Amino acid sequence: MFFSCALICVIIMHKENDSYAKEHMINSCAYAAYILPQTSGPGETGKGRNNLQQENDITFKEFWRDNDRFADLFNGTLFQGRPVVDARQLREADTDVSGRIVGKTRKESYKRNRDVVKKLYRGTEFVILGLEDQSHIHYAMPLRSMGYDYFNYTKEYKEICRRNRRENRLRGRSAGEYLSGFLKTDRLHPVFTLVVYYGEEPWDGPYSLKDLMTDLPLELESSFCDYRMNLVQMIKEDPGNFTHPDVSALFDLVQLIYKDDPKGLQKKYSDVEVDKDVFDVVKAITSLDIKVVPGNERGKAKMWSTLKKWQQESYESGKQAGELAGYESGERAGYESGKQAGYLSGERAARAALIGQMLKNHWDVDAIHNATAIPVDEIRAVQRESNLTN
């Protein structure tokens, strides 16, 4: 598909006096981006996305809409910690980059929404900073990222063309300006897109458009117009690169959880308060069923205390359910001994359910024993039966 698009562009450039060819030269890249499915990232909407996925999308977007966090993310990744992006100069921008692809014989509409977009003002001018959240590896991500940039540029180009015609700026201009609707002095604002990958597995997909190509002949390689996306992997980025406590804590906590390191969590965060927004994002990324209880009016909570509370609530809930099931089973049998046997059976079932859930959430045997006082032999038995390993 990609080599065919490149060949079309060569033919179109050769037919530069053909108006039909010009029209398709403008729209060929848009159509290539248009036909790409929009189904794999947390910031995307579409058929098949359940309520939990959509809720997580909103969680990610709300977290990064905060100007201070947004600025720190860009500074800590794209600019090696240098304060290039000033949060005070950021303004919210429209995330809708939908439009139409108009051809001689057809008209296609496309709907695209970016996750978070902001304008960084420098005096009277600005640059556009876009953020795209990605939960899973996408093996055409450079093309998608390039498409988003293209949509932003096309949207501004069309706005300038409409303004020029509305204000009669094209009158008396050259043929090139009149046909393009774009004055020789008109300029577009630069777009920078940052893709944040939240997955547990290291990114093994392409980083650039060139990575998507079949082998290029050596004599053509230097002339190839490449596009390299700006990718941030949450599992690899050093939390020390960030100065905002929420951003640093988010990267650090997710890395510790992905490393199956509850002891490291306890050691580092036993007395540390973390903003509840960070908890929400950690929960969305790792699928940990944690409930945040604000520790004060600022909406913060101690990280390790909250994890222990979540663990204890899971244990009590499972225990009560097991006890109730066992009690009712024994009562129906009509024997006191049946009640007691059912009670004990229910308790064992509740403990097994709790152990299984904690193993799935990457707790090791010693950590489960220390937190619940369940015997190590019982924990290991459940681990063997469930084929769950640390």
- Residues 305, 234 share a domain: no
Domain boundary among 239, 256, 282: 239
Domain boundary among 239, 260, 294: 239
Q: Domain span at residue 220?
A: 2-239
Percent of the chain exceeding pLDDT 90 equals 45
- Residues 253, 224 share a domain: no
- Residues 113, 191 share a domain: yes
- Residues 201, 345 share a domain: no
- Residues 68, 184 share a domain: yes
pLDDT given for residue 305 in this prediction = 53
- Residues 186, 96 share a domain: yes
Percent of the chain exceeding pLDDT 70 equals 71
- Residues 275, 231 share a domain: no
pLDDT given for residue 345 in this prediction = 61
**Tokens 């997710």 found at:** 254
Averaged pLDDT of the chain: 78
pLDDT given for residue 147 in this prediction = 93
Tell me which of 74-78, 127-131, 225-229, 333-337 is least confident.
Answer: 333-337
> pTM of the predicted model, to two decimals?
0.68
> What's the chain look like in SS3?
CHHHHHHHHHHHHHCCCCHHHHHHHHHHHHHHHHCCCCCCCCCCCCCCCCHHHHHHHHHHHHHHHCHHHHHHHHHHHCCCCCCCCCHHHEEECCCECCEEEECCCCEEEECCECCEEEEEEECCEEEEEEEEEECCCCCCHHHHHHHHHHHHHHHHHHHHHHHHHHCCCCCCCCHHHHHHCCCCCCCCCCEEEEEEECCCCCCCCCCECHHHCCCCCHHHHCCCCCCECEEEECCCCCHHHCCCHHHHHHHHHHHHHHCCCHHHHHHHHCCCEEEHHHHHHHHHHHCCCCCCCCCCCCCEEEHHHHHHHHHHHHHHHHHHHHHHHHHHHHHHHCCHHHHHHHHHHHHHHHHHHHHHHHHHCCCCHHHHHHHHCCCHHHHHHHHHHHCCCC
Could you read off the pLDDT of 62-115 as tens digits, one per residue?
A: 999 999 999 999 999 999 999 999 999 999 998 988 877 776 777 777 788 899
pLDDT given for residue 89 in this prediction = 97
pLDDT at 378 over 90: no
- Residues 211, 262 share a domain: no
Structural domains of the chain, count: 2
Backbone φ, ψ for residue 125 (5° rounding): -105, 170
CA dist 181 and 99 (Å) reads: 17
What the block records as the tokens of 353 is 């359910």
Answer with the residue of higher pLDDT: 167 or 288.
167
pLDDT given for residue 40 in this prediction = 43
pLDDT given for residue 307 in this prediction = 57
Domain boundary among 210, 239, 268: 239
Could you read off the pLDDT of 41-50 as tens digits, one per residue?
A: 443 444 445 6
- Residues 222, 249 share a domain: no
Could you read off the pLDDT of 184-211 as tens digits, one per residue?
A: 999 999 999 999 999 999 999 999 999 9
Answer with the residue of higher pLDDT: 370 or 137.
137
- Residues 269, 223 share a domain: no
pLDDT at 161 over 60: yes
Could you read off the pLDDT of 259-309 as tens digits, one per residue?
A: 887 777 778 877 778 888 998 899 899 887 655 444 443 455 555 555 555
- Residues 65, 157 share a domain: yes
- Residues 49, 82 share a domain: yes
Tell me which of 71-85, 159-173, 269-283, 354-368 is least confident.
Answer: 354-368
